[in-house]
Amino acid sequence: MKIGFYGIIFILLFSGCLKLTGDTEKTRARSALIAWVDESKGSTAAVIGVIDEKGTRFFSYGKTEKKGVPVHEETLFEIGSLTKLFTALLLAVLDEEGVVDMDAPVWRYLPESRSYLQNEGRPVTLRHLASHTSGLPRIPENMGRSDFANPYASFGEAELSACLKGYPLKGASLPGESYGYSNLGYGLLGYLMEKVTQTPYEELLHEKVLNPLGLGRTRISADGLEMARPHGPFRNPVPAWDFDVLAGCGALKSSARDLLRFLSLVMEHEENPLKRSVEKTLKEERPLEPGVEGDYICLGWHKLTLANGEPYYIHDGGTGGSRSFLIFDNEKRKGAVILTNSAKPHDDLIDFVMKEWMQ
């Protein structure tokens, strides 16, 4: 679920500055989707959503699975690491409410971690977890390798405790000093908020974030709801991922409509009841590369500045059978979402979205 950061930067920098012309917007979008789904055999389905000064619109093509039903803007997809955006917002809400202090050390909420979640006397804080600056590895080193198709399902409290105790922060960058993408860090963050509130992550997220924002189709469990079945890179059906204690790093499923509504609220196209908390997540925390200005990690979001000076907030997500991408320009107040049910990279669709709407 690591963001394809350098690949995305390449796409954003070199996707060209000219908007596609000739045909209608709908025709161009359909052609791009057909090329991705059918011609490249990228997946069985894909959905694109766009929001700008013209309003909101959706473009979809394909079926939930080979003999499934057509997908649309309400179809659920795994969103992988886009989950982190909601985990970060949950942290900001709880910080705003005084339930947690994002600048407090992790050991305040997990006392047994005091001796090992620090480096040279500098403790790891909740903010460090949310900004990928904790020094923790991308994935737990003791994650089971027996089930590659569902790698997070059996990683519970015992495994988390053993992982944290067994990972020496000594030798890693000092907490807060440099960026290092970490699914483990975000999983730990979600777990800590569960412990503090004594409320399961999904229930807490619905209460504090999803329900206030009206995101009724964003959830962990898709039971009884239409969902695009995940597929491997060769269009082979694969299971949806299950999560235990690391749910905060990638467990959510959502629809294009919900994710576009989320962008609408973030960009203040409509009144946002969590405005102060959202603003916290958009503040620059650290440069993505030491000493290089223009590209930053925020709380969850990655903020990239292109050669033309345009700043974009982005994140992508991936599981064993799905890909997702979210981008917005906060100055021009426009954004887009891409959802596919395949593990195959969707760079062609990102390139199309950038040329068509985001430049």
Q: Give the CA count within 13 Å in the CB-facing half-sphere of 111.
A: 0
Report d(CA 357, CA 47) in Å as an integer. 15
Helix (H, G, I), strand (E, B) or coil at 338: strand
Q: What beta strand segments (E) does 131-269 contain?
A: 253-254
Phi/psi of residue 355, nearest 5 degrees: -70, -40
Domain annotation for the chain: domains and CATH numbers = 5-358 (3.40.710.10)
Report d(CA 39, CA 346) in Å as an integer. 13
Residues in CB range of 304: below 8 A, 6 or more apart: 8, 9, 12, 294, 295, 311, 312, 314
Q: What is the DSSP letter of 112?
A: G
DSSP 43-86: -SEEEEEEEETTEEEEEEEEBSSTTS-B--TT-BEE-GGGHHHH
Token representation of residue 262: 């989320």
Q: Note the residue count of the chain.
A: 359
The whole model's pTM is what?
Answer: 0.94
Report d(CA 354, CA 306) in Å as an integer. 12
Digitized pLDDT (tens) for each residue of the chain, 359 residues in all: 544 554 555 455 445 444 554 579 999 999 999 999 998 787 899 999 999 999 999 999 999 999 999 999 999 999 999 999 999 999 999 999 999 999 999 999 999 999 889 999 999 999 999 999 999 999 998 887 667 889 999 999 999 999 999 887 877 789 999 999 999 999 999 999 999 999 999 999 999 999 999 999 999 999 999 999 999 988 899 999 999 999 999 999 999 999 999 999 999 988 999 999 999 999 999 999 988 889 999 999 999 997 778 899 999 999 999 999 999 999 999 999 999 999 999 999 999 999 999 98
